[in-house]
Structure 1
Amino acid sequence: MEVLKKWVSLCSLLLLLLFVGVVAAVNKDEASKWSVVEKEKMQSSNNSTMAARLGEIKEEALNEHAVDDPEEVARMVEMATWNSTERRKLGFFSCGTGNPIDDCWRCDPNWHKNRKRLADCGIGFGRNAIGGRDGRFYVVTDNRDDDPVNPRPGTLRHAVIQDKPLWIVFKRDMVITLKQELIMNSFKTIDARGTNVHIANGGCITIQYVTNIIIHGLHIHDCKPTGNALVRSSPSHFGFRTMADGDAISIFGSSHIWVDHNSLSHCADGLVDAVMGSTAITISNNHFAHHNEVMLLGHSDSYVKDKQMQVTIAYNHFGAGLIQRMPRCRHGYFHVVNNDYTHWEMYAIGGSGNPTINSQGNRYLAPANPFAKEVTKRVETAESQWKGWNWRSEGDLMLNGAYFTPSGAGASANYARASSLGAKSSSMVASITSGAGSLGCRRGRQCQQS
């Protein structure tokens, strides 16, 4: 009997211990579940707060022109690029080049279904150029330009003059020879991805007194002077135009402009010129070749309204047959970052009128000519004047005897207004600029160099 009592007591103790263990395990599991839930709530809250803050920043900045804190802009660009890449799951690490614009959208094989995402990938001073993001698609089906006053529906001229935002694409490959300059209206994107589109052998693109323009993926070459003719600029207005110089892209009194992934060459005047108070401009990923005066930024030494000009020149390839003005600057603030300069005959970067030039992370390969090794040129200005101008070279790679003549205060506050994004190492320039120019894009595949 005594033995039986002992066994009963032992069994009761074992059952009690087992029950306590089960209760502890259940509580631990519930605590773990609540920990995960709370963590997810906290993460969601943080993400929502961050998204809301970025939205507020973007809304506040949307209508600005020149900016006061470009270094904050650079931080926003890097954060936005990382966030968008993560969100879209585009395989950043498998196809990334270190080029934040391209790594934002080029990894997506379904780019043709998500064309307007490009508008979220801008960087630098022109980062807020949304083009026709908020409008309908317009498909160009007709390459003719028979009547610059009454353009046919389906033509590029008919598309760009409309008052509404439009994202303009092309039905097929085409060569467009414009009888007169193509005068664009605000909030337009020209997106030639997936087609081989040339604007050539006639007038070219004029961006005058408008805002929010994106030009992407075109071949623009052999532009000629046009004018002394009537040309339509909107559905309700046409007027007499005096002679145009024959620029590939002329930016005149305009803001929030992004010129990206175009191939430009052989024009009568400049390839990209920005004058008369234009600002908030990014010129990126373009291939420039076979031209004399490549890029003029600033109207004249006497036109002081260009002091507000801010231009980012990033990830471009300045290639064969170029002579000078890459760019030639006046008055404003110019961030020249991570470009590949493989050819020039006279100089690469020039200026007058006391511009601020911030050259960072570029690769400069000097020509064989022993008298053309200098990257920089102060145009028609005495050293006593230009020695106070703020021009600096930071992290640039100088090859074949290339040298940059700095001036002014090396740590001047003016460089903050000539900073628009974080420069990569100059050792990465070859990779970053490998896709410069118009790309060969096919549906269902990542866009590759053409």
Structure 2
Amino acid sequence: MGRSLDILLFIVCLAIITPTLNANKLESSEYWKEQRPEFDSYWQEKAEIAKQDNHAAYFPDPYAVSGNFTASISEIITLKSSRRNLKGGKGEKCLATNPVDRCWRCDPNWAKNRQKLADCVQGFGRNTRGGKGGPIYVVTDPSDNELLDPKPGTLRHAVTRNGPLWIIFARSMLITLQQELIMTSNKTIDGRGVDVYIANGAGFTIQFVKNIIIHGIKIYNIQVRQGGMIIDSESHFGLRTRSDGDGISIFGSNNIWIDHVSMRNCTDGLIDAIMGSTAITISNSHFTDHNEVMLFGASDSYPEDKIMQITLAFNHFGKRLVQRMPRARFGFIHCVNNDYTHWEMYAIGGSMNPTIISEGNRFIGPENKFIGKDQINAKQITKREYADAKHWSSWQWRSINDEFLNGAFFVNSGPELKNRPFSRKDMIKAKPGSYVGRLTRYSGILVCRVGQPC
């Protein structure tokens, strides 16, 4: 009885010291009842089109995609790439340390050739092109006062235009969104060269669209907003219920790339991907100060998330994080060469038989906590939820060349990958977790100066 009481007290204390420690709203049936009025005929039509696009973006052989990605990592580290010169123009040193960054950061003319970035994505989101081919749109005004007729030059005006756009910023700015920012397809938000902060207001909504790149911005202190009439394209606006407080919410969408963002302290999740979203890569980003970091799949009763395929690569999961890096249902998650330096409960979790391949990550276990005489140990990386060992023992959760420090350990399940039906070439192993410090050295937003390698 005394031990149980101590553990209960520990949980209560943790809830008090962690402001964002609450259940993800997307997992509650009440949330979905509240959302239904939003799906009028306009959104129902978009949902049907998005569903077809999501299935088209699905890779029938996900092991080949993840294997080819890890092959390119090995190639770049061992300097077998034809572009192994580590210098940019005029002798400047290029600080890119992984294959995604090496694609663009060594070019001193990156500011004149911004759309080259769209050729650099790898992993499951590798076909994402964002606003490539469209004109440059320069955001000049940080305000967000008009939700139905946004002022030209604002971010809301930019993301609701109908065609492809490559969105950049005239200067450094803090943007406080009054309501969720609903994006149309074929957009790139490119914060390179300035400091762009999305903070103290609503977050991004990527709903029933495709081809979205979000790069080089900082997102923090995202809050719930009450909703209302909000524009979502040049030709449509509608009534929205209250937003859930996610930093980036991906809903029924495909071909999404989130790269070099820094995120912390959102009311709900930092990044959520649900409702059949797929073909997503999240890379080179830095996450701190949050409870439930990433939710991939919100409902045990939505098997459409079986097509969900997400790559997490070269990210740093840093200080004051609690859990869900990520927490997945149904889909295929490839976690490759990420740095997990902090968690308080667990790092990787899931239910409903997701496939999780953890490859070449570094996991540093948390220090033990003491409540009275009882020791609280959270060194296990993995957590299977709502299933006993008899069921989850067949789930495909495998650790390959990970590095475990300070007592961290990964509980494997399912058959070894060598028995899977794919060629050896497709699953060339990534570099071990001992290389992660180098690969993730520049995670988060970058300081990029025009005329120099970034």
TM-score calculated relative to the size of structure 2: 0.80
Contact 1:334 1:356 in 2 (8 A): yes
Contact 1:340 1:363 in 2 (8 A): yes
Q: Residues of 1 paired with 2:294 and 2:453: CA distance? A: 30
Aligned-pair CA distance for 1:425: 2.4
Name which of 390, 395, 401 aligns with 1:389: 395
Identical pairs, percent: 55
- Aligned partner of 1:376 in structure 2 is 382
Q: Residues of 2 paired with 1:181 and 1:75: CA distance? A: 36
Name which of 412, 437, 444 aligns with 2:444: 437
Q: Deviations over 1:80-137 (max 9, x none)?
A: 9988948999579963654101111111121111111100000000011100011000
Q: Residues of 2 paired with 1:102 and 1:396: CA distance? A: 22
1:78 lines up with 2:77 in the alignment: no
Q: Residues of 1 paired with 2:255 and 2:445: CA distance? A: 21
Q: Residues of 2 paired with 1:420 and 1:171: CA distance? A: 43
- Aligned partner of 2:415 in structure 1 is 409
Q: Deviations over 1:232-281 (max 9, x none)?
A: 00010000001111000000000000000000001000001000000000
Aligned-pair CA distance for 1:212: 0.2
Residue identity matched to 1:166: L
Q: Residues of 2 paired with 1:192 and 1:282: CA distance? A: 18
Structure 1 residue ranges, 4+ long, deviating more than 4 angstroms after superposition: 79-94, 419-422
Change over 3 Å in CA distance of 1:235–1:88 after alignment to 2 = farther
Aligned-pair CA distance for 1:306: 0.1
Q: Residues of 1 paired with 2:84 and 2:403: CA distance? A: 32
Contact 1:312 1:420 in 2 (8 A): no
2:273 aligns to what SS in structure 1? Answer: strand
Structure 2: segments with no counterpart, 5+ residues: 1-52, 369-375
- Aligned partner of 2:324 in structure 1 is 325
Residue identity matched to 1:388: S
- Aligned partner of 1:169 in structure 2 is 168
- Aligned partner of 1:257 in structure 2 is 256
2:222 aligns to what SS in structure 1? Answer: coil
Contact 1:71 1:421 in 2 (8 A): no
Aligned-pair CA distance for 1:300: 1.0
Contact 1:97 1:431 in 2 (8 A): no
- Aligned partner of 1:56 in structure 2 is none
1:108 aligns to what SS in structure 2? Answer: coil
Greater RCO (CA < 8 Å, at least 6 residues apart): 2
Contact 1:70 1:420 in 2 (8 A): no
State the Cα RMSD in Å. Answer: 2.7
Name the count of aligned residue pairs: 385
1:69 lines up with 2:77 in the alignment: no
Contact 2:96 2:105 in 1 (8 A): no
1:288 lines up with 2:295 in the alignment: no
Change over 3 Å in CA distance of 1:174–1:420 after alignment to 2 = farther
Which has the larger Rg?
1
Query: Quick check: which one's helix share is greater?
Result: 1
1:365 lines up with 2:371 in the alignment: no
Change over 3 Å in CA distance of 1:119–1:422 after alignment to 2 = farther
1:182 lines up with 2:181 in the alignment: yes
Q: Deviations over 1:10-43 (max 9, x none)?
A: xxxxxxxxxxxxxxxxxxxxxxxxxxxxxxxxxx
Q: Residues of 1 paired with 2:427 and 2:117: CA distance? A: 19
Q: How does 1:292-307 map to 2 (within 5 A)?
A: 292-307=291-306
Aligned-pair CA distance for 1:227: 3.3
Q: Residues of 1 paired with 2:436 and 2:253: CA distance? A: 30
Residue identity matched to 1:371: N
1:157 lines up with 2:156 in the alignment: yes
Q: How does 1:265-280 map to 2 (within 5 A)?
A: 265-280=264-279
Q: How does 1:18-167 map to 2 (within 5 A)?
A: 64-73=56-65, 74-75=67-68, 78=72, 85=83, 90=88, 95=94, 97-167=96-166
Change over 3 Å in CA distance of 1:399–1:162 after alignment to 2 = same
Q: Deviations over 1:283-307 (max 9, x none)?
A: 0001000000000001211110000
Change over 3 Å in CA distance of 1:158–1:213 after alignment to 2 = same
Aligned-pair CA distance for 1:381: 1.8
TM-score calculated relative to the size of structure 1: 0.81
